[in-house]
Amino acid sequence: MPLGRRVRQIADYWPAGLVAVGCGLAMLALGVHDPAPATTREVSIVARQYGFTPNRILVDAGDVVELRLASLDVVHGFFLEGHDIEAEIRPGKLGFRLRRPSTGEDFHDVEEVSFVARRPGKYRYRCSVTCGTLHPFMQGELVVRPNIPYRAGVVGTWGVALSALVLMIVHPRRGGGWAEIGGGTSKRIDLLAGSARFQRLVKSRWFQFALVVPNVVILLFFIVAGLLGSPIGNRNIIVTVVWILWWFLLITVLVPLGGRVWCLACPLPFFGEWFSRRRLVTVQPGADRSESLRSGSLNRTWPRRLSGMWVQGFLFLLMCTMSTILVTRPALTAAVLGAMLAVALVIHAVFRRRTFCRYLCPLNSWISLYSMAAMTEIRSRDPAVCASCEDHSCVLGTSAAWGCPWLVNPSKLSRNNYCGLCMECIKACPNDNLGLRARPFCSDTVIHRYDEAWMAFIMITLVIAYSITLLGPWATVKEWANVTEMGNWGGFAIHSVAVWFASLVAMPALWYAAALIGRALGGGGDVRPKEIFVRYSYALVPLGLAAWAAFSFPLIMVNFSHVTSSLSDPLGWGWDLFGTANAVWRPLWPDWIPYLQIPLLLLGLAAALSSGAAIARSLYSSRRAAIGSLLPHGVVCSAITLVLLRLYVG
Amino acid sequence: MRREHLAAFILVIPIIVIGAVVVRYEPAQRPGHVRPGVMTFNLTGVAADGVWTLSDVNGLNYWWRHFKPATLYVTEGDWVEINLRSADLLHCFYIPAFSVGPVDIEPGHSKTVSFRASSSGVFQYYCTSMCGNCHFYMRGWIVVTAPGEDPVEPPAIACPLCLPDFGPPPETDRLVELGAYLYLQKGCVTCHGPEGRGGIENPNSTKATVPDHATTAQKFFLASPEDAEAFIELVQNEVDLTALKDPPEIERLAVVTARFANAEEIIRIGRYSAKLEPDGPVPPLQMPAWKYLVDERGIDALLVYFVSLYPWEEG
């Protein structure tokens, strides 16, 4: 593309530039404020399992804060981000022990500590002495006003929303959409065509085995660690690596870049697949057509009625209802992972191919939904070749490759949702017509079933719920969610009902109301409300993925030293394999967390509105109708962004 | 098939190797466990039960099992090594008799202490960092027996707070009853003895034993059962003692009031037990500051309960 045309094309986006300048001015205006006269504030904070009282402290920039700390039950810590304060609070003592982390000094006894709240923003104070199961989530928040990062985020949200609107008005046919409906083939990079070595690797029968086996060994070791190791989550590798490191990598790297690439390496179906195939690396085509446990599996077909996403969606919700307990109890995590191994084995013995992964794995509902946004896909290179193909090796298998284990027809793939990236079809295709391709973010934009739409509602609601229970400062909510220790079953019922109601009823109802309003604004027409409701739900995919990423950054950054210390001492038995077991807990650049979260959320919103615009254009031919129908959904997406901003940085 | 066998081999070998490593370094089989002339114990602190236990505490049993406090039997002259771990939160291990500790034990950080069991007898070890409801019961015995003699059986230590039938607070507005409840519930009883009778040994403290509370009435200069009754009634009715214009018929009420305020303050801010021998160990039992743990009414409740304990008929 000639440079001149590119410049003109960029210049076409002047309205967005205008909005950006406006927002910039607004932000500048926010920075200018009458500083309140600095005062001295005396704050007494009382710690208990698992929260601080008060859990939110508001001060003005320049204030001197005099802090006293006490504990009500066990020894707690107090680590204030951005202010170089770490304390150890022992119950039954009037003072506390203080040190300045930056100096590396030892604790010394003090009665109180004072600091000047200089930089505006939100700073968390967290427990820094392992105090029980929910220790890693025990926190409160200090807000130094004016909270400029938060205000900037709010202005940014308005900016993104207005830019999207203006762009849709000015460029009805283009306007910010980087996605093409129906999975166009432009802007694709064929990853296999470029490198013969990579192609040989992917086509090797050892490829998947080599990726899975390390995970199988690690999983088995983790299960042993969960059962025999320390009962405290942050000292046990199964919790730190699975729920902190792996979950973070899945959300921020594996799914956005590779889509379902985790399914390629997942150890859970390993033993089941081994049992039903009777092969680890080679191919025995008879096995996946056998109806006998002697030569393969019974290869039954999963009941049609259960083949939607509903079962997995419910299982995922169930897991998430228990997740505060799950992610803090190594033995429970081990039991759940062990149970999944066992259930996968049984399902593989009875049902065809990867029935377990497709219809029962709770995580599939999460990965499947967000893989739509992923930047990797397996697709037919030339649909014409597939159309004239008669032997359907990719579905049926050959002597060199299994038929598609994921029960899809690879030659007709148009979305990522149910393709496990196992690469069997690439090995099978006699015409070499299946390609592994890189593509722009948010390329699959078609949701056309209720169950898939509901997954989008469930996932976005859950990330809000998690941000409240795990990352919030509310001890009561943690107590409700942590029922097996606290025994507050009434609270647990409130918590569970709220989560289920919000994700299954409230969020969809809100979306449906938006669909009805949108249809009216779009001038009715022959697009049914169901279609608006379901198709636009895709907007929640990029937004949700960004929200999950914003949620997972504090998890990994705050708890990273738990990961390194438990790698060195996986079972919490006092080993020290790499010399990091006894390292002092330190959050990793905690001051930077808001500056990662705000852009992530704004990018997610931009991607959501841009996908929404693309969907609107495919639904309506008139500009007015397209904008009108998208408007209420855009408002809901912006509102969700604002809620998350409030929780993270407000 | 050769490829299949190779694959199975690749799968099984790391599993066996890692399994072997885990078994090899399983804590009970840690090197040094059976070194000659060294008695080694693995103690794990469990806050929920208020014990240092010899059992292996892990993800499997922690959630449902009740652990028993460990009694360590050694022979005089033994070199004793104790590997300390915590199952849940920060504990502090202390054996004043052998000047071991106090040493902080955090989950996942094991520490080893050692000492020579130089004299025979029955000694106590403690947790000296408040670790929850059952903290004050978190102690046990070290029985050191002279060579050739039979070990004595120390009394059992059980934590009534950890028992399921330790009920809810009494539904009464009588301060004395509330005080009696708090006395058990907050764990005062562990150091100050059942019904405030004291007598619990506090090694190397100037007082030798923890102060009793049965004589509180006397310490307050309350002269008769009637005076004590009247005083309890005053506190019960939340009368501001310092502002009394028309003092009731209690002898030396000003002294009583001053003594009472002094006692309140001791409960609020705690008290340091001074060392008898300046070079000796810190006395293990220290009065905590209850300011944040018991409210003002609760402190008064405890004090009038102590007043009510005085055995008047014995004179």
Q: A75–B90: do the CB atoms touch at under 8 Å? A: yes
CA-CA distance, A82 to A78, in Å (whole number)? Answer: 13
What residues in B contact A282, CB-CB < 8 Å?
1, 3-4
Give yes or no: residues A171 and A286 share one domain.
Answer: no
Counting as low any pLDDT under 50, the low residues of chain A are 175-183
Q: Hey, is the C-beta of B130 within 8 angstroms of any chain A C-beta?
A: yes
How do residues B173-217 score in pLDDT, each as one tens digit?
Answer: 888 889 988 888 888 888 888 888 887 888 888 888 888 888 888
Q: Which chain A residue has the Cα nearest residue B186?
A: A73
Instruction: Give pairs for B275-283: CB < 8 Å, separation 24+.
Output: B275/B204, B275/B205, B275/B206, B276/B204, B276/B205, B276/B206, B276/B208, B277/B204, B280/B99, B280/B204, B281/B96, B281/B97, B281/B99, B281/B203, B281/B204, B282/B96, B282/B102, B282/B204, B283/B96, B283/B202, B283/B203, B283/B204, B283/B205
Give yes or no: residues A511 and A584 share one domain: yes
pLDDT of res. A176: 41
Contacts of B133 in chain A (CB under 8 A): 73
* Domain membership flag for residue A13: no
Which residue from B18, B26, B60 is facing A331, i.e. has the nearest CB? Answer: B60
Whether A513 and A331 have beta carbons less than 8 Å apart is answered as no
When computed from its CA atoms, the radius of gyration of chain B, rounded to whole angstroms, is: 26
pLDDT of residue A187: 77
Is the same domain home to A322 and A239? yes
- Are A297 and A311 members of one domain? yes
- Contacts of residue B3 in chain A, CB cutoff 8 Å? 205, 281-282
Same domain membership, residue A553 and residue A643:
yes
When scoring A52, A235, A271 by the number of chain B Cβ atoms within 10 A, the one with the most, hence best to mutate, is A235
pLDDT attached to residue A175? 41
Residue A494 lies in a domain: yes
Q: For domain B31-159, give the fold.
A: Immunoglobulin-like (2.60.40)
- For residue A370, tell me if it sits in a domain: yes
pLDDT at B21: 83
CA-based nearest distance B121→chain A, Å: 31
Are A330 and A195 members of one domain?
Answer: yes
User: Tens digit of pLDDT for each residue in B89-143?
Assistant: 889 898 888 888 788 988 878 888 989 988 888 888 888 888 887 888 888 888 9
Residue A358's pLDDT is 93
Residue B288: beta bridge partners?
A: none
Residues of chain B with CATH 2.60.40.420: 31-159
Amino acid at A175: G
- Alpha carbon distance A188, A380 (integer Å): 12
Say yes or no: A220 and A92 in one domain: no
What are A342-368's pLDDT values in tens digits? 999 999 999 999 999 999 999 999 999
Residues B193 and B309: their CA atoms lie apart, in Å, by: 12
**Percent composition of chain B: helix, strand, coil (DSSP 3-state, to 5):** 35, 20, 45
CATH, residue A101: 2.60.40.420
Distance from CA of A125 to the nearest CA of B (A): 19
Q: How many CA atoms lie within 13 A of A345 on its CB side?
A: 8
Question: What's the domain range around A557?
Answer: 149-176+447-649
Nearest to B107 among A213, A221, A230 (CB): A230
B274 to chain A, any CB pair closer than 8 A? The answer is no
Does residue A1 fall inside a structural domain? Answer: no
The answer to whether residues A301 and A160 belong to one domain is no
**Statement to judge: residues A287 and A336 lie in one domain:** yes
Query: Is-contact A219 A337, C-beta < 8 A?
Result: yes
For A423-462, how does the pLDDT look when each residue is reduced to its tens digit (9 = 90+)?
Answer: 999 999 998 899 999 988 888 888 889 999 999 999 999 9
Instruction: Report the C-alpha gap between B74 and B76 in whole angstroms.
Output: 7
Residues of A in contact with B83 (CB under 8 A): 574
Which residue from B208, B206, B210 is spatially nearest to B190, judged by alpha carbons? B210
Shared domain for A471 and A577, answered yes or no, is: yes
Among A438, A473, A488, identify where a domain stops: A438
B266 contacts chain A (CB < 8 A) = no
Taking the C-alpha atoms of residue A547 and residue A549, their distance in angstroms, rounded to an integer, is: 5
**Which residue type does A457 have?**
F
The position carrying tokens 């014409």 is: A384
Domain assignment present for residue A20? The answer is: no
Query: Token match 């392992």: residue?
Result: A130
Residue A331 distance to chain B (closest CA, Å):
5
The last residue of a domain, from among A386, A414, A438: A438
In a domain, A24, yes or no: no
Return the pLDDT at A32: 60
Same domain, A428 and A570: no
Is residue A6, in this structure, part of any structural domain at all?
Answer: no
- Asked whether the beta carbons of residue A228 and residue B290 sit closer than 8 angstroms, the reply is no
> Considering its fold, how many domains does chain A have in total?
3
Facing B60 at nearest CB: one of A46, A74, A228? A228
Chain mean pLDDT for chain B: 84
Instruction: Sort out which chain B residues have CB atoms less than 8 A from A236's CB and list them.
Output: 59
Digit-coded pLDDT (tens) for B56-68:
888 888 888 888 8
The C-alpha atoms of residue A196 and residue A190 are separated, in whole angstroms, by 12
Cα distance from A334 to chain B (closest Cα, Å)?
Answer: 9
| Backbone φ, ψ for residue A218 (5° rounding) | -65, -45
Nearest to B110 among A229, A232, A574 (CB): A574
Q: Using CB atoms and an 8 Å cut-off, which of residues 63-82 of chain B contact chain A?
A: 63
Q: What is the pLDDT of residue A196?
A: 87
- pLDDT for residue A500: 95
- With H, G, I as helix, E, B as strand and everything else as coil, classify residue A360: helix
pLDDT at A527: 83
Q: What is the pLDDT confidence band of residue B310, given thresholds at 50, 70 and 90?
A: confident
Query: Distance (Å) from the C-alpha of residue A261 to the closest C-alpha of chain B?
Result: 21
Q: Is residue A64 part of a domain?
A: yes
Q: Please tell me whether residues A101 and A238 are part of one structural domain.
A: no
Nearest CA in chain A to B7: A280
Distance from CA of B42 to the nearest CA of A (A): 11
Q: Write the DSSP symbol of residue A134.
A: T
In the structure encoding, which two tokens stand for residue A66, read together? 């005099």
What ipTM does this complex have? 0.85
pLDDT computed for residue B2 by the predictor: 85
- From A438, A470, A488, the end of a domain falls on A438
pLDDT at B25 over 80: no
